[in-house]
């Protein structure tokens, strides 16, 4: 548990110095160990346009167009790239231990998580939806069962062009390969 605490603290300190237009700024944190109860709080900057989750899953908000979704995916990819390639520390004391040792953050786990977010953006579905039929509850399993049928993955609240369906299929195939 203590090791996990040190890793979490190192990650939080790293996130606190990141400054990129496509990443929400971490303003502060609090970590309290009440006899190993481990309560943690992260404080991020205000997002005036709300979160991606709100825009994808809140029915009271307008649906995101394909153009907007593509811009979001590109911005997220640029933010992730910055975390792995463009981040330079002025003071090594702020860097996470794994970054100091290897010069890299956890690329594989970040890419996997990014792929999951891409699925959500492309399909308009949450990663886990318990109210769906058994074979459709887990988004990743559902997509893997129908890898060649891109029309199945489209957010049906949008008018989808054949080009968008083709792009979607290419993205899904690439993510499945990860």
**Top-confidence residue, 77 or 122:** 77
The structure tokens listed for 128 are 């886990």
pLDDT at 114 over 60: yes
- Cβ pair 49, 72 in contact under 8 A: no
The residue written with tokens 């900057």 in the block is 45
- The mean pLDDT value for 90-119 works out to 62
In a domain, 113, yes or no: yes
What percent of the chain has pLDDT above 70?
64
Considering only 14-28, 29-43, 64-78, 138-152, which range has the smallest mean pLDDT? 138-152
Active-site amino acid positions: 91
In a domain, 106, yes or no: yes
In a domain, 27, yes or no: no
pLDDT 10s digits, 3-49: 456 767 777 877 888 888 888 888 888 878 777 677 888 888 898 88
> Measured between alpha carbons, how far is 12 from 42 in angstroms, rounded to an integer?
8
Q: How many domains does the chain have?
A: 1
- The mean pLDDT value for 132-157 works out to 73
What pLDDT sits at residue 60?
94
In a domain, 105, yes or no: yes
Domain span holding position 108? 50-177
Instruction: Identify the CATH number of the domain in which residue 159 sits.
Output: 1.10.510.10
Of 91, 95, 158, the closest CA to residue 124 belongs to: 158
pLDDT at 147 over 50: yes
In a domain, 124, yes or no: yes
pLDDT 10s digits, 1-12: 444 567 677 778
Of 177, 176, 175, the closest CA to residue 77 belongs to: 175
In a domain, 57, yes or no: yes
In a domain, 122, yes or no: yes
Of 76, 1, 63, the closest CA to residue 31 belongs to: 1
In a domain, 32, yes or no: no
> Measured between alpha carbons, how far is 138 from 171 in angstroms, rounded to an integer?
18
Mean pLDDT of the chain: 75
Whether pTM > 0.75 for this model: the answer is: no
Buried b (16+ CB within 10 A) or exposed e, 87-124: beeeeeeebbeebeeeeebbeeeeeeebbebbbbbbbb
pLDDT band at 159 (very low <50, low <70, confident <90, very high): low
């Amino acid at each position: 548990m203590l090791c996990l605490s040190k890793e979490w603290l190192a990650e939080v300190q790293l996130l606190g110095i990141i400054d990129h237009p496509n990443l929400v700024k971490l303003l502060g944190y609090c970590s309290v160990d009440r006899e190993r109860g481990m309560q943690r709080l992260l404080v991020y900057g205000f997002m005036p346009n709300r979160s991606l989750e709100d825009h994808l899953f809140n029915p009271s908000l307008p649906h995101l167009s394909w153009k907007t979704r593509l811009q979001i995916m590109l911005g997220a990819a640029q933010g992730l790239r910055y975390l792995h390639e463009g981040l330079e520390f002025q003071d090594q004391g702020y860097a996470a231990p794994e970054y100091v040792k290897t010069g890299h953050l956890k690329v594989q786990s970040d890419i996997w998580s990014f792929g999951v977010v891409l699925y959500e953006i492309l399909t308009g579905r949450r990663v886990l939806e318990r109210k769906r039929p058994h074979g459709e509850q887990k988004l990743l399993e559902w997509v893997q069962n129908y890898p060649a049928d891109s029309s199945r993955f489209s957010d049906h609240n949008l008018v989808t062009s054949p080009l968008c369906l083709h792009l979607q299929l290419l993205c899904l195939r690439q993510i499945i390969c990860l």
